[in-house]
Amino acid sequence: MARPIIVTCGEPAGIGPEIAPQLLAAGLPFAWLGDPRHLPHGTAFSVIEDLSDLSGVAPDRLAVLRHDFAAPATPSQPDPANAAGVIAVIERAVSLALSGQAGAVCTLPIHKKALKDGADFAFPGHTEFLAHLAGGVDVAMMLASTLVSPPCRVVPATIHIPLAQVPAALTAPLLEQAIRITHAALVRDFGIAEPRLAVAGLNPHAGEGGGMGGEEIAWMIPLLDRLRTEGLSLSGPLPADTMFHAPARARYDAAICGYHDQALIPIKTLDFAGGVNVTLGLPFPRTSPDHGTAFDIAGKGLADAGSAIAALRMAADMAEARERG
Ligand SMILES: NC(=O)C1=CN([C@@H]2O[C@H](COP(=O)(O)OP(=O)(O)OC[C@H]3O[C@@H](n4cnc5c(N)ncnc54)[C@H](O)[C@@H]3O)[C@@H](O)[C@H]2O)C=CC1
Ligand SMILES: NCC(=O)COP(=O)(O)O
């Protein structure tokens, strides 16, 4: 049997707890790590002591690795007392993956401000925290569609920073790092032997020959030319406004973008229900749904579990690809 996937509970006041039991629809071996008091009333679950006990759990019951939190949960009202528990669950999941007991980690959404307010969380998101827990490795954040064709895969080179800081933070070394991490991950985890990457320009019309911004001519074009001499398949810098429609997506396997919204608006528009967030470059596969804690609908039974189910499936596929080597 494949090694199980560990699913972290995320923010107890968000939609994570009501999505967790719906993950059983994927029919994959996984355990949910969290406080069972936070699950919706009536959830059928079995507490296990260890991931090796998973095979004894009936397929229609949620396997729970118990992690006691300080307080119960109220939908849409994050309790600062629970912030430390949310963080500890992520740490425990990473330990299980690094020790080889879990084959992959799938995280349900956290609320970044709730963690900062409640526990002084110093990271802007899972991505940066996971990189830290894995020993300070270089990572990239990719969002990948599962329901649209041609697929939409996007990687923002800068991640969770204010827009005003992007032009200074987006440098040739950072873009090169995002390109290399994405290339290696598409080969290793997604079975794409010769990935084709498209790189978005920073400015309107990719700078329009220097008339609308200088970054493309100053360093993007020279960087891409240099990497092409190594054999990397790279197009760009492309105007970002015309690189995400279907015929354009057919020409590449992933788009490397300059900043968060340049990358995430197209995928969340095209495939909000099936989008998966993947951290590339970690020593274990990690996926997450593309959505957040959705406090506006938490506890109302309205949450669509499709993206989280797709994330669980993608984690399993990535783990299998790594097992195959
Ligand atoms: N992987 C993670 O841990 C992520 C965490 N977040 C965090 O979540 C918090 C809230 O972020 P928002 O920008 O409000 O985005 P959000 O994705 O939580 O909500 C945006 C809108 O989409 C709806 N929505 C989201 N997921 C849904 C689902 N599964 N089914 C039906 N409707 C759904 C919500 O009701 C809301 O109207 C923030 O703290 C953000 O940083 C956001 C994205 C990913
Ligand atoms: N916008 C994506 C997002 O916020 C998820 O980030 P992370 O928590 O997976 O780093």
Predicted complex ipTM:
0.98
**Which DSSP category does 217 fall into?**
I
| Residue 242 Cα to ligand 2 middle (Å) | 25
113-120 contact pairs (CB < 8 A, 24+): 114/11, 114/13, 114/78, 114/80, 114/83, 114/86, 115/83, 115/86, 115/87, 117/80, 117/83, 118/78, 118/79, 118/80, 118/81, 118/82, 118/83, 118/84, 119/80, 119/83, 119/84, 119/86, 119/87
Domain segments of the chain: what residues?
Answer: 1-137+286-325, 140-281
Work out which ligand 1 atom sits closest to the CA atom of 291: 17
At 261 the pLDDT is: 98
Q: Tell the residue nearest (CA) to atom 34 of ligand 1.
A: 294
At 280 the pLDDT is: 98
Residue 112 marked in a binding site: no
**CATH for the stretch 140-281:** 3.40.718.10
Is the fold of 1-137+286-325 the same as that of 140-281? Answer: yes
Q: How many CB atoms lie within 10 A of CB 272?
A: 16
At 1 the pLDDT is: 66
At 148 the pLDDT is: 98
Ligand (nearest to CA of 13): 1
**CATH for the stretch 1-137+286-325:** 3.40.718.10
Ligand (nearest to CA of 293): 1
| Residue 125 Cα to ligand 2 middle (Å) | 5
DSSP 4-25: PEEEE---TTSSHHHHGGGGGG
- Burial class of residue 50 in the structure, from the number of CB atoms within 10 Å of its CB (0-12 exposed, 13-18 middle, 19+ buried): exposed
Ligand 1 site, residue 76, Cβ cutoff 6 A:
no
Ligand (nearest to CA of 304): 1
Residue 277 marked in a binding site: yes
Strand partners, 156: 257
Work out which ligand 1 atom sits closest to the CA atom of 10: 3
Each residue's pLDDT expressed in tens, for the chain with a length of 325 residues: 689 999 999 999 999 999 999 999 999 999 999 999 999 999 999 999 999 999 999 999 999 999 999 999 999 999 999 999 999 999 999 999 999 999 999 999 999 999 999 999 999 999 999 999 999 999 999 999 999 999 999 999 999 999 999 999 999 999 999 999 999 999 999 999 999 999 999 999 999 999 999 999 999 999 999 999 999 999 999 999 999 999 999 999 999 999 999 999 999 999 999 999 999 999 999 999 999 999 999 999 999 999 999 999 999 999 999 999 8
Which candidate, 276, 279, 284, 283, places its Cα nearest to that of 314?
276
* 96-150 pLDDT tens trace: 999 999 999 999 999 999 999 999 999 999 999 999 999 999 999 999 999 999 9
**Residue that the structure tokens 């100053």 belong to:** 218
Pocket of ligand 2 (CB under 6 A): 125-127, 264, 277, 288
Whether the model pTM is above 0.80: yes
Ligand 1 site, residue 292, Cβ cutoff 6 A:
yes
How far apart CA 251 and CA 198 sit, in angstroms, is 8
At 2 the pLDDT is: 87
